[in-house]
Structure 1
Amino acid sequence: MRLGFRLIWSAFLTAIASCVAYFFYDTYMAYSNAPAITFPNEADVSNKLTNLEFLSTLPYHGCESLVYHDGALYMGAVEGRILKMNDSGLHVLAQFGDANCASSHTCGRPLGMRLSLDHKELIVADTHLGLFSVSLIDGTHKKLFPLDGNFKVTCFNDFDILPNGTVILSESSTEFPMDDIMNIIFSARPSGRILSIDLATGEWHQLMGGLAFPNGVQLHRDGESVLVAETVTSRIHRVPLDGSPPTLFGGELPGVPDNIRASPRGGYWVPVANLKDTFISHLTERTRQMPALRWIPPMSFLISKLKLYGIDFWCHSEWLAVAT
């Protein structure tokens, strides 16, 4: 009897796995990246960023897209909060979701963040809920986009604001939400895009499509184009605002780019993860042409099943590192 039960159970699991693979495996694509640029031996090495002070953000995690203004740091956390850190400590400034929300789709997950043009508000891109403004004084917030059912938010990420108030925003995927980030990355499907949004009218159009996880967005110093970090391919694109064809601004990056911000001293800051010539980078290089080795069930499915058995985990940082 026990052997028969095991056979039936094994057949059932095999059928389930086959169905899941049928629906998800064909979304995984082969791709290749250019080799990382090789720095000359005589290149200067700066150790300034090794002198760090770590600031705890507990009990919140995964803080991203920092904004510094008037002596305070502002950031968004995995728990759906907008946080303010100053000399008096860490405070919750705002929360877009309901107080009793139970998932990131209802609680929100703030990612990209900028000061408004008048420096009175934060403008925040929530990956699930849309664009919001947040008062720096009392945290009151208002939804800016979308305001009707004519646009479905899938995976908002980062943005910049043009002098005329237009928002240029990256939507990392039009297929997977951010809590399925592993599928966005490992599938390598170029379903991401760059949007131009007129907040005054709610009108929008696509500036660039066919991107594999577009991430950080930064207005170029020429004022006529934006720089876009494409995470999966380790590239930075320069996208003209007038609709002209985009060009490659930076390829052969030494790792995986995330955000991008202008430096006040000229140039741009691009934080990168998974530096090349490491074990993980070699592993991903090997699997780029083998989609079958990169396929996994949707991450949100795995996490939900683990939570059923009381298993929970965080894959998010709980520290800020400040260079001095």
Structure 2
Amino acid sequence: MISIFVVLYFPSTIFCFPRLQKLTLPVPGPEAFAFDIQGRGPYTGVSDGRVLKYEGPRTGFADYAYTSPNRSKAICDGTHDITLAPICGRPLGLGFYYRTGELYIADAFLGLFVVGRNGGRATQLATSAGRVPFRFLDGLEVDQLTGTVYFTDASAIYGLSQINELISSDTTGRLLKYDSRTRKVTVLLTGLAGPAGVAISKDGTYLLVSEFVSQRIQKYWLKGPSANKAEVLLNLKGNPDNIKRTVRGDFWVAVTVSTPSPAVLGHRITGSGAILKTIKFSPRFNSTSVSEVQEVKGALYLGSLSLGVNYVGLSKA
């Protein structure tokens, strides 16, 4: 059941993005980030199917994990070819469960995975839910209180290589839950238009889910009198992608605006739908899209699925 609770609020002031540092990658497409319990990282998935870990300015990014059991370094390393993704893998959403040190990975082509604290080849956990195969896993969030993994399947019809078709009309996306204790996947919401990002509140009472196609954010209640119900929290003038909670308990949403003036933005929002701050990242973040804005220790990390972005953007919040 979806109820309607819409907040339309846009601040009059849009802050310009300050100085940009670029953490250079060997291949492009850093769609999402994760940081381990020691704060090391970012870890990010890239276009050739690897999950890379940032080891500092001297070393840069190094191999950490991969999802595909058939992956060949000779074929895959350095590739930008999306047709090789079923062989090489394409990790998107990432999230650590700090209690175990495990990293959960949403692979757009191969399903839900987990890898141990030492990295390497990840273990496949699920490829379908409710007898419907995953087509385009995207966002991922781990509840640190329970170990439950929440993730999105952007479409039941179209994959990442068919993203133009998805954007035009698809409403078959789903919000999903993986119970690490029972190892079962449950469908929480259906009929979503390009669900991309998902984030859990600090107290674990609700999720925020972005719908890229519908240009809105929904609030799904996990606990309380509205448990298992969703409401439209916020309509946006642009396409929202990943959502990441800050240590304060509010959230950064990555938003790509196509018209009337193309721009890539970050909105910092509350769980009640108020926009606290908006930062314009373009043109310094040289991309036509932004997939993630994540705040860590006072710095903002910027990602993009675009093959033109072979770095992680970094600046002060």
Question: Match for residue 249 of structure 1?
Answer: 233
1:178 to 128, 150, 160: 160
Question: Match for residue 313 of structure 2?
Answer: 321
Question: Match for residue 93 of structure 1?
Answer: 64
**Secondary structure of 1:221's partner?**
coil
2:205 counterpart of 1:224: yes
Question: Match for residue 52 of structure 2?
Answer: 83
- Residues 120 and 197 of structure 1: CA distance in aligned 2, closer, same or farther (over 3 Å): closer
**Secondary structure of 2:87's partner?**
helix
2:123 to 133, 142, 165: 142
By how many angstroms is 1:144 displaced?
Answer: 2.1
Cα distance in structure 2, aligned partners of 1:95 and 1:279? 34
Question: Match for residue 258 of structure 1?
Answer: 241
- TM-score, with length taken from structure 2: 0.71
- Residues 122 and 244 of structure 1: CA distance in aligned 2, closer, same or farther (over 3 Å): closer
Question: Match for residue 64 of structure 1?
Answer: 31
By how many angstroms is 1:235 displaced?
Answer: 0.6
- Residues 148 and 280 of structure 1: CA distance in aligned 2, closer, same or farther (over 3 Å): closer
Please tell me the residue identity of whatever aligns with 1:319.
Answer: Y
2:43 to 69, 74, 77: 74
2:23 counterpart of 1:55: yes
- TM-score, with length taken from structure 1: 0.70
2:11 counterpart of 1:39: yes
- Residues 189 and 266 of structure 1: CA distance in aligned 2, closer, same or farther (over 3 Å): same
Kindly indicate whether the alpha-carbon contact (under 8 Å) linking 2:126 and 2:185 is maintained by their aligned counterparts in 1: no
By how many angstroms is 1:315 displaced?
Answer: 3.6
Q: Which runs of 5+ in 1 are unaligned?
A: 1-33, 282-313
1:269-288 mapped onto 2 (5 Å cutoff): 269-274=252-257, 276-278=259-261
Question: Match for residue 115 of structure 1?
Answer: 96
1:192 to 173, 176, 181: 173
Kindly indicate whether the alpha-carbon contact (under 8 Å) linking 2:45 and 2:90 is maintained by their aligned counterparts in 1: yes
**Secondary structure of 1:106's partner?**
helix
2:150 counterpart of 1:168: yes
By how many angstroms is 1:161 displaced?
Answer: 1.9
Q: Which is richer in helix? A: 1
Equivalent pairs, count: 252
Structure showing greater Rg:
1
Cα distance in structure 2, aligned partners of 1:149 and 1:141? 23
RMSD across aligned positions (CA)? 2.8
Q: Which is richer in strand? A: 2
By how many angstroms is 1:145 displaced?
Answer: 2.1
By how many angstroms is 1:316 displaced?
Answer: 4.1
Kindly indicate whether the alpha-carbon contact (under 8 Å) linking 1:36 and 1:254 is maintained by their aligned counterparts in 2: no
